């Protein structure tokens, strides 16, 4: 599995552990459900840093310091 795929799996595991649906994360982050789906599939290249930061909040992930 690629690094991007591993990141996606970690994000998905965090979401499930917190009892959230992709729709819940998307609404809280202000992004589309498709964006959450893409991240969980490791399709990170097309995602902006802003979207990644927004997605980190509802998952209680450390903020990106980019």
Q: State the SS3 of 16-59.
A: HHCCCCHHHHHHHHCCCHHHHHHHHCCCCCCCCHHHHHHHHCCC
Nearest to 38 by CA among 30, 46, 50: 46
Res 63: pLDDT:
62
The dotted CATH code for 3-56 is 1.10.260.40
Q: What is the pTM of this model?
A: 0.85
Answer whether residue 66 shows pLDDT above 50.
Answer: no
Per-residue pLDDT tens over the stretch 10-65: 999 999 999 999 999 999 999 999 999 999 999 999 899 999 999 999 998 876 54
Domain boundaries, the chain: 3-56
The Cα 43–Cα 19 span in angstroms is: 23
Res 64: pLDDT:
53
């Amino acid at each position: 599995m690629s690094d991007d795929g591993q990141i996606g799996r970690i994000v998905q595991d965090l979401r499930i552990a917190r009892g959230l649906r992709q729709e819940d994360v998307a609404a809280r982050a202000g992004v589309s459900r498709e964006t959450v789906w893409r991240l969980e599939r490791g399709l990170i290249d097309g995602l902006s840093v802003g979207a990644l930061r927004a997605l980190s909040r509802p998952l209680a992930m450390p903020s990106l310091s980019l």
